[in-house]
Structure 1
Amino acid sequence: MRIVVWGTGRTGLDTAREMIRQGHEVRLVDEKVPRQSGELPVSLLKEDDMKWADLVIPSPGIPRFHSMLGRAKKVLSEIEVAARLLTGTLIAVTGSNGKTTTTTLIHRILTRAGLDASIGGNISPPLISLVERNPQYIVAEISSFQLEWIERFRPHIGICLNITPDHLDRYRDMDEYVFYKKIMFRNQQEDDIAVLNAADPYLRTVEGRARRVGFSFNPPSSGDGAFLEGSRVCFQGSIAGQGPMLPEGRDLGNGLKEDMLVSALVARLLGLDSSISQEVFADFEGIHHRFEHVATIDGVSFVDDSKATNVGALETALSGMRGPVILILGGKDKGGDFSHIARRFSDRIRMVIAIGEAAGRIVQEVSDIVDAEYASDMEQAVKTAFERAASGDTVLLSPGCASFDMFQSYAHRGEVFRQCVHSIR
């Protein structure tokens, strides 16, 4: 087969290598040829590539409405191609927020249980890079971008943590974004499992024939599921019983509690002892830039939640906060509603400091509800926050926006925040 792999990031390079290993004729193309592409030759994308190829595999960052893709005979995503080649049990995690943490926790539980499990997908490495090893279990973080070109993609356990407004700069509207989240369940059959947030109105109905299992902080109204009773995970329905305890004596935040709840539920569905989940939770120190405590200076706590790239993640972070918060918001605008956040949490937001491309809109939306002002960069934002904070306050970087206007990634943004905090000392 003649295959065009479009994109020279990690996903594109690994896809090209695997397709060559599978015996296909491959062209690796991009709209800009990198200065160094390793051992694989790269050519500039041209219309002839679409005519030549039997199949085009675009990297997730390529918009599905790109005119070149309309000229292709067939388009499949990297996860679709990888899933066809993998023979192990596929556990796929999607959702607007919490995917990386939940995927990591499930993988650690499986490996702690002694199972042959690998992690991949939207979290490094790409799913295609696992094909050669072909592990018994694959735990995959899956984004809506990756689901845009699936055809037969079918996880044995599919998980959707939540759906909140995100990527509205890529999708026409919220309905289209929801469609590409829920499409992951379309091909599931009766012997598969769909693990769904019972409290999320977008997830009340999904396509597919899988067994439905719910989760929420409160007991789901009926059927199999998991919920919290204090710090104890509990199961109901055909899987009824007590699960692991969540770690006590530290502030987990609602986001991490939910991720642990779902991970424990998946372990239960796989027949693993709850003590394994409890051990993993006790050892888990979190993921960098996900509600991560940086320092406490003169009684002021600084928290790095740079991974909060949409208002849903921001809302989750604030819902778990106690005491006054000085909130650093902004970045590349994704169309989120910040006025809703300001109204809901006006009792705990001392002030908002806005940075980046979205700063003007943010200040305009929230300034009638809470104190708000601009900062030219992260250094000024952190400095202003510390000057305005009182002992007992928290300075929270939870931007609710993408990072690419000012930073290389959300991780880079978080590191700059940490450097600015440590420079205060």
Structure 2
Amino acid sequence: MTMTDKPSTLIVGLGKTGFSCVKCLVAEGVPVAVTDSREHPPYLDVLKEEYPDVAVFLGGFSDDAFKMAQQIVISPGVSRTLPEIQQAENRGLPILGDIELFAHRCKAPVIAITGSNGKSTVTAIVNKMIKAAGYKVSVGANYGTPALDLLEEETPDYYLLELSSFQLETTTSLSPVVSVLLNLSPDHLDRYNSVEDYYAAKRRVYRGASQVISTTEEAANTIFKDKNCITFGFSDSDACIKKIDDEPWIVYRTQPIIAVNELQLLGQHNLSNTLAAVAIANALALPLSAVAATLKIFSGLPHRMELIIEKNGVKWINDSKATNVGSTTAALLGTNGPLVLLAGGEGKGADFTPLRTAVAQRAKAVILYGRDASLISTVLNECVPVYQVATLDDAVGQAIKIVKKGDRVLLSPACASFDLYDNYEQRGDAFKSLVYKNIDREKVCL
């Protein structure tokens, strides 16, 4: 069956991505139906208003809907291992995602970026570099706008897609001009059977790529034997750090780009993100002037090592985007000075043991809240003083009681937000509000 046969399509999951699939397929005259396990998914009202003829099955995945379908399109949040999806696949039905649909429709080169951490930051830097070079770029997928919605705009010079492992699971035909794997660390073990399965999903980004960009360590993998690979890393890489007149510089092979002390981004992990962006820019042959100019002014994204305020000698930092252990470890190791860590939430089946070393090295105390606070506490209790509270509000209050001048208070949860908040953005905004509210009425320095 080809993509042009216009089979009856069942879209599983009616979030932002699922709704973008409805719009795309209906516009092409493809018969579609929608099913969602929720009684009132986010885009239900707008679906009924704009597409009243689309059949909708709610409150569970409908057997009838699956039986009528000739192909299945699953939203990223829907696991391919669900029994209904498995049964459809066993019957020979194609199981697609929005990125696979996009791959068959896009008319411009694609830059695909994935990794356990740093995806959004690198995507944002590269977006600005491409624009600074005078090219038109459309940015989306896991970064804001659904990929299919980008097709409604004028065709750009490049599509820049941030891709999650969930999206890559159902993608086979993307063939990016540049594919990027930033890093790998355990995550989403509530969805995958093993770390290896998760890593394999991430590495699907390499499929059909003209050029591959990865760390030097990842490049040692045999899958790169027949691929044009550009590496990044702190040393011995195409994009790396070298001393020039005793000052560290970012260089690409023999070409100096920018002195490290000119960067606005802080932290060792953001230095790695910057090196990845430089590697991508060189793969695209962007002018070095545009690359350097971007790096001089780019200061980061909200909820990623975001300095909220410094008051009474204490810095309050919002890193709510740190939804896994690897990201929080990087945040800890990239933060100088005495540190109080606020962490907790929905752990996604993660092993928190790797946090021990970073916490022992950098934190003076840890304040845990949320559903899996006890699991994290078990791992960290012997490292530093650990306080366990119920909510983020309580965590901020406890931090105010124990911080001293010169400390940093870092919200870097190492967990998803869904036990208490809709998403990491809501959690980060709540943290900022709590900080502003509480430090105005409490004495922070003891």
Give the TM-score category using the shorter length. Answer: over 0.9
- Is contact 2:264–2:295 with CA below 8 Å preserved after alignment? no
- Is contact 2:9–2:69 with CA below 8 Å preserved after alignment? yes
Aligned pair partner of 1:119 in 123, 134, 139: 139
Q: CA deviation at 1:340?
A: 2.8
Q: Evaluate the alpha carbon distance shift between residue 209 and residue 15 of structure 1 in structure 2; reply closer, same or farther with a 3 A threshold.
A: farther
- Is 1:235 the equivalent of 2:255? no
- 5+ residue gaps, structure 2, are 1-5, 441-446
Q: CA deviation at 1:343?
A: 2.6
- Is 1:150 the equivalent of 2:171? yes
TM-score, normalised relative to structure 1: 0.93
Q: Which residue is equivalent to 1:268?
A: 282
Q: Which residue is equivalent to 2:82?
A: 66
CA deviations 1:279-336 (Å, max 9, x no partner) are 2122222100000001112111110000000011011111111111100011001233
Cα RMSD (Å): 1.8
Q: Which residue is equivalent to 1:88?
A: 108
SS of residue matched to 1:252? coil
SS of residue matched to 1:357? coil
SS of residue matched to 1:338? coil
TM alignment of 1:252-331, pairs within 5 A: 252-331=266-345
Give identity over the alignment, percent. 31
- Dislocated runs of 4+, deviation >6 Å: none
Q: In 1, distance between residues paired with 2:266 and 2:144?
A: 25
Aligned pair partner of 1:55 in 58, 71, 89: 71
- 5+ residue gaps, structure 1, are none
Q: Which residue is equivalent to 2:193?
A: 172
Q: In 2, distance between residues paired with 1:208 and 1:100?
A: 28
Q: Which residue is equivalent to 2:28?
A: 22
CA deviations 1:224-254 (Å, max 9, x no partner) are x210225522122xxx422234453756112
Aligned pair partner of 2:239 in 226, 234, 237: 226
- Is contact 2:263–2:296 with CA below 8 Å preserved after alignment? no
Q: In 1, distance between residues paired with 2:165 and 2:271?
A: 23
- Is 1:194 the equivalent of 2:209? no
Aligned pair partner of 2:56 in 27, 40, 43: 43
Q: In 2, distance between residues paired with 1:131 and 1:244?
A: 35
Aligned pair partner of 1:215 in 212, 232, 245: 232
- Is 1:4 the equivalent of 2:10? yes
Q: In 2, distance between residues paired with 1:18 and 1:247?
A: 46
Q: CA deviation at 1:52?
A: 2.1
Q: CA deviation at 1:96?
A: 0.1
Q: Evaluate the alpha carbon distance shift between residue 301 and residue 200 of structure 1 in structure 2; reply closer, same or farther with a 3 A threshold.
A: farther
Q: Which residue is equivalent to 2:443?
A: none
Q: In 2, distance between residues paired with 1:70 and 1:301?
A: 49
Q: CA deviation at 1:115?
A: 0.8
Point out the more displaced range, 56-65 or 31-40. 31-40
Q: In 1, distance between residues paired with 2:294 and 2:30?
A: 41
- Is 1:419 the equivalent of 2:433? yes
Q: CA deviation at 1:213?
A: 1.1
Q: CA deviation at 1:70?
A: 2.0
CA deviations 1:342-373 (Å, max 9, x no partner) are 23441321011111111001111111121101
- Is contact 1:7–1:30 with CA below 8 Å preserved after alignment? yes
Q: Evaluate the alpha carbon distance shift between residue 21 and residue 375 of structure 1 in structure 2; reply closer, same or farther with a 3 A threshold.
A: same
Q: In 2, distance between residues paired with 1:9 and 1:357?
A: 25
TM-score, normalised relative to structure 2: 0.89
CA deviations 1:56-83 (Å, max 9, x no partner) are 1110000111111123311111101101
SS of residue matched to 2:421? coil
- Is contact 2:315–2:409 with CA below 8 Å preserved after alignment? yes
Letter in 1 for 2:193: R
